[in-house]
Every structure is written in structure tokens, then in C-alpha cells.
């Protein structure tokens, strides 16, 4: 029997980074309808930085998240509506709003060492009748034992699944294999992987994760996402089909969704550039890219130097404000 792999599409969440969070509600409806028709199991819709992310710090969305979620829910027939929540950016109020708007799944995303700050959100989600997934970001920054420890914490809080997330696109397949295999052995819940393509390894790392035991992987149509983007949903479907895994997704329909519906709506088609490659090489958060480009232009410095320095300082998501400080310091060294 073919092993079933659950594929969560996050074009309308991680892909928000590729359009500066400016998808319209009409865009959301059109994309969701195409993904649902193709057979995608779960569709994630949120600001690029999760519920509550629309702000001066992270960039304002074109519409409210409630409007996005209602548009998505109205366009779905079979898929489950998912949201992302980063504790401290999103709160229980946003989570309750999402549930009322039709969200059935929430991924509670914390830094890889901070699963404990997600405990209350996992429990609130469960009380709302939602599927709750623990999402360990920046998993390249710690050793395997720490990832296992944190995954077990999420499981103890009642999470239905746990993710090993390569937020920076910094890992190579052997590192993915080691981490996924260890977590899979340590927990009794499904294990997922979310890949970025900053070093050209998103598909390869997703396959490595599956071969190491992962049950869930993520993709975005045309790879839309932070940095150089994500593993392409349509490519994952084709590759997994050739490898003998079942996704339940129609290959032609997901190709059409990507090329005919999503691609025309992208402001910045994802690609590996010298800056996005630097993100993966330095191991910094994917959403730093646009902030670094703007700061580089403002202070007349090389964006690569900013990103490498941010990596040297071991910065994490939420520390975007440091990019200006780093750019200023680099400018004054000249």
C-alpha cells in the first residue's frame, strides 16, 4: 500500500511574504478554490508572520485576517482551513476569531528552544475543537537532543503533530534526516517538515524528511514564500507520485493552480539570489530578506553583509528591528 503523505499548502501564509502581505480577499478566494479543487488536504491562510502580524513591525495586510479567513472558508468544499500563530504576535483573541471564522487547524510556531511558550495556545486550540500542531522554527540552530526535548514538550501539551522547521533554508539533507528520524522515534504523534529553498534544497530536504519518517510536508504554489521561497507544492506532488507516495492531489490541477492562478498574482517570483542564498548560508530567518534589502539601500551597504552579521549574532524571528542597527554599524565601519 502507498504511504499517504499529508501536504499542507501555505501559499496564502508564507506566500504572503512574496507579495508584501497584499493578497486581496478575491485573490484568497480564487487560490483557495483552485487548491481545494486540486485535492489539497489543508490550506493555511494568515499574515506572513501569523495571526496578529499585520503591523508596523511586520507590514500591514491588504485586508483583515478575519476577512481573509471568511473568504477562504467560503471557497472551500473539502479542505481544512489552517492558520499560523506565533505566541506574542498572535494571542488567544486572534485564535478565537480564527476558529469562529472557520479555521480548523492552527500551527503554534515557536523558536526551537521555546515550545513552553506555546503550551497555552495548544490547549486553547484544543478547547476550541481545533487540530493543534507544534511548529519548531529555526531547527538548524540547536542539536538533535534539544529538538527532541522540545518536540516532546509539544506532545505533552496535547499537540496533534509536531514540525521540524527549516525557517532559514539552512540545512542539508543529512541534517534533516537526523532530526526527523530522532523526533519520529521520540514521539507518538505525526511529524512534519517545512522547507525553504535558500540553498536550493527545499524539495530534496522534503524528500529526506519523508524518507526519515515524516508524515506531513509543506509547499507553496510556485514556491512563493519568504527568502527564496518554499518547496513548490506542484513539484512535491509530481515527485512524490513518482516515488510511490499518495498525496490525494491531482497533478494537472495543482500545476494549473500554480501557473494560472498564483503566478500572475505574485509581485516577486521566488528565486535564489545572492541575498536569499546568504540567508540560507548565514542561517537567518527568511523574512529578514526584504528588511535587509531596504536597510542596505538606505545605508549604502551590502545586504549580504547585513545577513551574515545577523547570522553571526544568532538572531531569530522577531528581531527584525536589529537589521537597521546592523546596517548602521556596517556603514560607520567604512
Known binding residues for substrate? 13-14, 167, 194, 285
130-152 core/surface letters (b: 16 or more CB in 10 A; e: else): bbbbbbbbbbbbbebeebbebbb
Interatomic CA distance for residues 123 and 8, integer angstroms: 22
Alpha carbon 33 to its chain centroid, in Å, reads 21
| Residue 110 grid cell | 515557536
**Residues making up the binding site:** 13-14, 167, 194, 196, 285
CB of 15 within 8 A of CB of 197? no
Residues 222/225/229/230 CA torsion (nearest 10 deg): -80
**Residue list, annotated binding site for Mn(2+):** 14, 194, 196
- Among left, alpha and beta (phi > 0; psi -120 to 50; other), residue 10 is alpha
Contacts of 226 (CB under 8 A, 6+ apart): 14, 17, 18, 48, 196, 285, 286, 287, 289
The C-alpha cell that represents 33 in the structure block: 478554490
> Could you identify the residue written with the cell 494571542?
91
Query: Is 17 labeled as catalytic in the residue annotation?
Result: yes
CA dist list (Å): 79 to 56, 68, 75, 104, 106: 32, 16, 10, 10, 14
Integer Cα distance of 25 and 52 in angstroms: 17
Catalytic residue among 17, 111, 140, 193: 17
Catalytic residues: 17
Amino acid at each position: 500500500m502507498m504511504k499517504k503523505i499529508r501536504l499542507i499548502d501555505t501559499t496564502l501564509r508564507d506566500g504572503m511574504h512574496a507579495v508584501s502581505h497584499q493578497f486581496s480577499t478575491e485573490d484568497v478566494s480564487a487560490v483557495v478554490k483552485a487548491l481545494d479543487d486540486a485535492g489539497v488536504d489543508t490550506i493555511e491562510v494568515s499574515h506572513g508572520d501569523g495571526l496578529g502580524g499585520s503591523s508596523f513591525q511586520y507590514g500591514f495586510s491588504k485586508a483583515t485576517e478575519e476577512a481573509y479567513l471568511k473568504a477562504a472558508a467560503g471557497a472551500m468544499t473539502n479542505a481544512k482551513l489552517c492558520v499560523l500563530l506565533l505566541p506574542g504576535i498572535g494571542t488567544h483573541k486572534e485564535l478565537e476569531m480564527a476558529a469562529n471564522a472557520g479555521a480548523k487547524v492552527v500551527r503554534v510556531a515557536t523558536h526551537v528552544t521555546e515550545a513552553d511558550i506555546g503550551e497555552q495556545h495548544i490547549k486553547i486550540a484544543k478547547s476550541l475543537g481545533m487540530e493543534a500542531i507544534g511548529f519548531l522554527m529555526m531547527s538548524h540552530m540547536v542539536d538533535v537532543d534539544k529538538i527532541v526535548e522540545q518536540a516532546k514538550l509539544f506532545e505533552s501539551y496535547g499537540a496533534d503533530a509536531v514540525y521540524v522547521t527549516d525557517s532559514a533554508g539552512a540545512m542539508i539533507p543529512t541534517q534533516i534526516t537526523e532530526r526527523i528520524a530522532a523526533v519520529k522515534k521520540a514521539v507518538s504523534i505525526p511529524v512534519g517538515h517545512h522547507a525553504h529553498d535558500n540553498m536550493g534544497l527545499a524539495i530534496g530536504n522534503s524528500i529526506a524528511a519523508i524518507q526519515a519518517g515524516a508524515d506531513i510536508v509543506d509547499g507553496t504554489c510556485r514556491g512563493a514564500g519568504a527568502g527564496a521561497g518554499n518547496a513548490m507544492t506542484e513539484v512535491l506532488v509530481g515527485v512524490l507520485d513518482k516515488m510511490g507516495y499518495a498525496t490525494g492531489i491531482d497533478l494537472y490541477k495543482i500545476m494549473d493552480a500554480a501557473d494560472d492562478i498564483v503566478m500572475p498574482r505574485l509581485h516577486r517570483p521566488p528565486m535564489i539570489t545572492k541575498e536569499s542564498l546568504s540567508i540560507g548560508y548565514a542561517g537567518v530567518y527568511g523574512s529578514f530578506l526584504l528588511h535587509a534589502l531596504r536597510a542596505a539601500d538606505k545605508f549604502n551597504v551590502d545586504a549580504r553583509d547585513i545577513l551574515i552579521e545577523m547570522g553571526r549574532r544568532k538572531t531569530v524571528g522577531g528581531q527584525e528591528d536589529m537589521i537597521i542597527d546592523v546596517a548602521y554599524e556596517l556603514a560607520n565601519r567604512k
